[in-house]
Every structure is written in structure tokens, then in C-alpha cells.
Structure 1
């Protein structure tokens, strides 16, 4: 066989999938790896998709997504969500295969080979792969544990070079659950304006925010509205991860080019799933709010529980459903630690080393990611097993 492309040979697989493989064949598994709700999609959404299929709506749709869904997205952001973002359904919105495709299309539409993209770490590992696919160079700027993993805007400014083209912002964050404070967002907005950067604003967790707070958003700054590429999905908000529906809102010139790229990747999205998303926006926000209430309760359980166990330290996340937990007292790399936990407790977690690049004082090998999008009884059992593991580990020292 002829040799494969350099890109195919250099891309790395997901460390999350690596842990799944390590747990394959084991029984009595407690899985705290996957970043998806444990709730079933609300019934009205399912019924709308079923009705649409019975009506024979199983053909190709418009490349940008059906107009009715784009109009529903427009109304949602205008009347409900409160984002200060131009979302004309004809010109500013593209429906995509989840937020993942939206992010990749945005990078392909804005990045030339060698262009640099600022990534705030810890980060979702796919960011680095997506930037590589687009031919760009990821420049990681760390957020530190003592600041709740929020970056220092001065570090962002210092990382910018003549090659810097874009910055990726994810708040609430995967993997830390960090919700960037408004003061930080203010300064990042100023940096974007000063350097005329594209801003890929990944807000797929924007509805999952705790303590009666609302996440500050770069969409609120008129001076950079043409720089903003706003990306969202239905996956986390409505427990629809398997449906694979997301969208991007940006200026017409960018949406037009992203649509051309989308035509070459996917052409169009399954119509019954799109119609189901209309129902999600119009009828199922109360279901989403109940899910967020459950995540907040689980957050409280798991953060207290982890901090009560010797060797574990966890700052309280403000949103999403992840606890990025310090395990440095155990004195081993995060991959080795997770495999040891798996072997001794049958609990699957994710090594922190997989969430970006260690830079500055941030050593990702000192952390693991725990997803608490699971039932309370499983969380309590997980904490009990970790406590037993910790006691035995330190007793043997």
C-alpha cells in the first residue's frame, strides 16, 4: 500500500476512547469519561422526529438547514437566549452536524497553513486536531487551578504574533467546567478588537451554569460582532448528543463560504432531526432547566466528595458537568493513575494529559477529568471506591 498522508499519520486518537478500550471486557464498570447527558431526549422532540418521518420528510434539505429551524434559532437568540448577535435566518445561520462540524468548518474557512490559533488550556482535545486538519498551529495559553482555570489576559496578549489569526473560547469549559468571569471576557474582547482576530466562540454548555449565574459571552460586544463565529448545538442542552445537530452564526460572507465547505462534507442534515430541534427550542427549555438543576446537585456531591478524599483536590466548576481534579499527591502521571484506578476500582476516568499541552506552570499530568453526567447513586459508589483506593494507596507508602 502507498504511504498515507502526513496529516493522517500525525493525528492522535482521543484519550477518552483509549480509556474506553482499556475498560473493554470488564464488568461492574463505573464510567465517568463521556461528556454527554445521561438523560433521554425529551419526549416531544422524539415525537416530532417520528411525525416528520411518517410524513415522508426523508429527502435532502437546503444546505444551510431548513428555513424553519434557522428561524427558530433566530427567535431563540433574539427573545430567549439574550445573545447580542446578528442571527438573520437567511444570511447568518448554518445548521451543521453537531458543533464539531461547525468548529471544523470555521477553522477551514479562516485559517491558512501556518496561521496560529490561540487555544485556552486545559481544552477539549479535538481543538488541537481540528487546527491541524486546517493546517494551522495551536498556541496554548494556560489557565491555572488557583484562578479556577481562567486564563490571564496578559498571557493571551503575550502569545499573539504576526501569524495569529484566531482564538478559541469555550465557556463553560470542557474539561474544567470553568465559567470565565465578565472581567476576563471584557479583556479578551479588547484583545480581539485590537488584533482583529477571528473568535470561535464555542458555547455548547451555555445553558449549564450554576449558582444562579449567567455566563458572560463575547457575543455582547458590538465592536467585535464581525469577528465572532458563534457555535452552539442541541446536544448538551436537550440531551441530544446522538442526534448530531449544531449550528454556527456569523457574518454572511463567512456563512457563505462555510456553506460551500459544508456541501463538500455533508451536503445537508436529516430533516426529521432538524424539525425535532424546532420543538426543542419551542417546547423543551423547561426540560433543559431541570437537567441543569440535576447537574448542579451532582456537582455539589462530587466536588465535596472528592475534596474529602486524601490525595484529591478539586476546584468548584461553575458550569458544564466536569470536575477537573488534581491528583498530584499520588506522584504518578495521569495516564498511569487512571489505569491504576481502573484496575483497582473498575471506575473509568480520563487522564488530564489529553486535554491540550502543558505550558507555563500548568502540568496537565497532575489532573484527571471526571464527568458527573450520571446518576447520584453511581456518583456515591464512585466516591466510595475512590476513597478505598486512596486509603490503600497511602497506607502502602
Structure 2
């Protein structure tokens, strides 16, 4: 956008430096700066009218009118010729001005034809959100990524359900966002080479096992995963059976593989496990909900073929648009619903233990979503 400064100082300088240079600029900027040529035409017209009046008065030989014309001419050239009391500036008559008011700044990056919705499952992590939102907003702006942050805040009294919150965020995010990031609030990318590009060929696992500071097993796809909207719908989102902490990402991995969607990961980075991401979760202050009750331990280790994006039940209590240190975010206060017949472990307040294995129905071994892991080999104790 080209604008012209309209203060008196700028007008004086434009006239002093000559109309020819400004006129040369007008031919190329006439479509984007319609007000600039008007100032120049006004100056030219004023000079023309004054001298026409002087010529006419000289022909009429009226001394009083001639004196008025001479006085006007003298005042006009005095206005242009006198130095300004303001500090010297370069002539701005032909330059482009880019100082737009804050509310006129572009909210998207025109070079990025895709738009990313960052879906943040959330509950009682306010301090981490205060750090995460401006950090990731600035990080993505440096990559010129169109994006918007959605914080899906679970406000009911049930156990935390990350998978269902991601399903809610997908349904409630803007339709112009053509891909999503399933993003943990406690994971911050440190290496600028970490890209949040549109996952053209298939899901893109940003926080890959060889880069994540804590989880390193081969089928891990948690932390930060980029998925196209059509792919997320194709696999019916995530299972809604995972109340409490863990395993919902492993079940989603099984869905992606079953749909024959290849998972891509970053390579050739100059950083590794210790310096690619910062994991800000404090286990001493925020203990994870790892309680297992009823038959949860057995059921959640197997593929869910009954629940997902199409079956999630919820309501939005309120929707808030806020800004944290310049980062605009949408907070969705969500109330999840639980089918206690299917998943009674959504509420373990009665401290009921796990159902004995002898009472569980036999299940197919191929439905096991993840084998039991050697924690020393696949898990780090830091982070």
C-alpha cells in the first residue's frame, strides 16, 4: 500500500525538490496512491491561477489589483522558500509509506495458501498457556504460516479426555483451516528448522521419536502431529474411550496405518533429543491422571472401532476470543458427555479397581494397539 503524507512540511519539500520527480512517480503509482497527484495538481493549478490573475491585472492596468496579485505571489513563494522549523527529513513525496495502524496490519500471510488450526487440549494449565501462546504464534509468524490457536478447555467434572477434546476442536475450528496440529501445550519447538508445513502426502509428525525429549518408541505420534482435515475425517478422528492419561495417540496411530496413510517425520535437523523441543511439564506440580478402574486397562489397549469424531458428544459452554502478548486465541469451554455403560472409567471417584482378567471377554491379538514397552529403552526420565 502506498500513502502520501499530507502535512505542510511534506508539501513544501515536494515543491522544493521539483514537480518532475513526483510526476514520474505518479505514472507508476496512480492506481495505488490516488491522493498524491491531487496535491501536485493543486500546486500547479495555484501557480497557474496566480500568474493568470497577474497577467489579467497588468492588461487592465489596475494598480490596486496589481498590488494584491504581487502580494499573493510573494506570500506563495515565501511559504515554499522559507526553511521549516521541524528537524530535517528526506523528501517523502515519492516514497512508499508502510507505517499502518495496528488494526490495519494483515492477519494472514498472503504467500501461504494453507491455514493451520492449532488444537490445544487443555485443563488447569494456565501458566503453561501464557508461555505457549505467544511463543508458538511468533514461531509460526517467522515461518509465514497462516494459523489460529484453539484452546479446547474441558470444564466438566469428568476425567480429562484429550482425544475427545481434539475431536471437539476439529469440529469447532474454522472451515478455512485446511489442516490441524494436534499440539500439546507443554511442548515448545526450539529449532527454527522445525517446520509446520502443510502435510501434502500424509500426516506429519513434528515431534518425532528421535527428537522428542521423552518418548522414543517407533510408533509414537504424540506431542505435535499435523493432519489434513480430509485425512482426519477419513479415520473418524480419535477414539472417545480414553479418559485419563495415555494411549489415545497409539490408538490413533493404528487408525492411520489401517487407512494406509503414511506418517512422515523431519530429517536432517541439526538438533536432537535434548535441543529440538522444550518439555515444560512439571511432574511434581501436575501429576498425570494414570488411575485405571473398571476394565479400562484391558479395553484401552485395543483398537476402538465404535467411537470417534462422528460419535463425540459435547456442548460448548462459552467461546472466548482473547489475546496473550499479541497472540490471538480462541478458547472453547467444552463440556464432554460420558456413556457410563460403555466407558464407566470416565469417573473413578469410587476408587474401583480393575476388573479381573478372568472376567474379560477374549480379544484378538491383532487388535492390540501397542505392546508393553521396555521403559528403560523407550522412555526418558528427563522432561
Compute the TM-score of the two structures, normalised by the length of structure 1: 0.26
If each structure's helix is expressed as a fraction of its own residues, which one has the higher value?
1
Query: Which structure has the larger Rg over C-alpha atoms?
Result: 2
